[in-house]
Amino acid sequence: MSEAIGKPVIDHYWQTESGWPVLSAVQGIERTPIRYGSPGFPVYGYDLKLLRESDGAEAGPNEKGVVAVFPPLPPGCMTTVWGDDERFVSTYFTSFRDKLVYSTFDWGIRDEDGYHYILGRTDDVINVAGHRLGTREIEEAVQAHSNIAEVAVVGVGDPIKGQMPLAFAVLRDASRAETPEARARQEQEVMEMVDRQLGPIGRPSRVHFVSLLPKTRSGKLLRRSIQALAEGRDPGDLTTIEDPLALEQIRSALKS
């Protein structure tokens, strides 16, 4: 991207609640090297830590943890829920026992050099035979295949394993999956890629190929609607969907 537009691309991570970036490479203060896929370092004003979900202790390098901020929160952050201070505290500050800490409800990791990477929402976790897997982790493993442009992974109920990951992927070169035999080969390649990245426990039960994924007009992936269709439920409110044909493709893929 940087080469194409002739300008640096500065990634960052923030939330509606934060009002401004929580993680970023602050180039105006220190010119740190850009690492694609990483929003960088905690922005000034944030005492940010990655905490283990199990005991609330700080996670080590390359260990997954919940992205959390110790108060006081800097100016610009949400300070309460209008007319309901108790709800504000109970929603954002009670994730960890004996710790008054703001939870972003996002998973993250930090490498040895201090660069952070966001792995997805803590509620986008599926339980496969007792193993907790983030859908974002599986999506990244699927997308490591050179012909995958975009992917959505959801957890679907399974009577034996509790849940199983199910993937819907957009191909860079759709001609490589034009026939049933070619689609089967492509699907097997993707599954083998996930095996190498995460191990067999992360392998999707199926990889369905579609030409687009259902998103809102602001670009947010409608995972809940995809999961609902996969489990035979109502997909819910779709007033913000960008292209209704995307959900029809999901329905058709599931029927096949």
What does the DSSP assignment read for 5-25? HTS----EE--TTTSS-SEE-
Same domain, 135 and 230: yes
Domain boundary among 70, 104, 119: 119
Same domain, 243 and 132: yes
| Residue range 173-188, pLDDT digits in tens | 999 999 999 999 999 9
Same domain, 75 and 157: no
For residue 2, pLDDT beyond 80: no
What percentage of the chain carries pLDDT values higher than 70? 100
Q: What pLDDT shows up at residue 1?
A: 61
Same domain, 248 and 136: yes
Query: pTM, whole model, 2 decimals?
Result: 0.71
- CA-CA distances (angstroms) from residue 172 to 122, 204, 214, 246, 252? 29, 20, 17, 17, 20
Spot the catalytic one: 55, 98, 123, 234.
123
Same domain, 178 and 247: yes
Domain boundary among 119, 150, 165: 119
Active site residue 234: no
Question: Domain span at residue 107?
Answer: 2-119
Asked which of 129-143, 170-184, 213-227 is least confident by mean pLDDT, the reply is 129-143
Same domain, 141 and 226: yes
| Residue range 66-96, pLDDT digits in tens | 999 999 999 999 999 999 999 999 999 999 9
- CA-CA distances (angstroms) from residue 18 to 28, 147, 174, 202? 21, 36, 40, 32
Same domain, 104 and 179: no
Same domain, 80 and 183: no
**Rounded Cα gap, residues 164 and 166, in angstroms:** 6
Six token digits for residue 58:
């700080």
Same domain, 41 and 93: yes
Asked which of 159-163, 191-195, 251-255 is least confident by mean pLDDT, the reply is 159-163
For residue 202, pLDDT beyond 80: yes
Please give the mean pLDDT across all residues of the chain.
Answer: 91
CATH of the domain at 144: 3.30.300.30
Same domain, 51 and 82: yes
Please state the domain count of the chain. Answer: 2
Indicate the helix (H) or strand (E) that contains 51. Answer: strand 47-51
What percentage of the chain carries pLDDT values higher than 90? 66
**Rounded Cα gap, residues 255 and 251, in angstroms:** 6
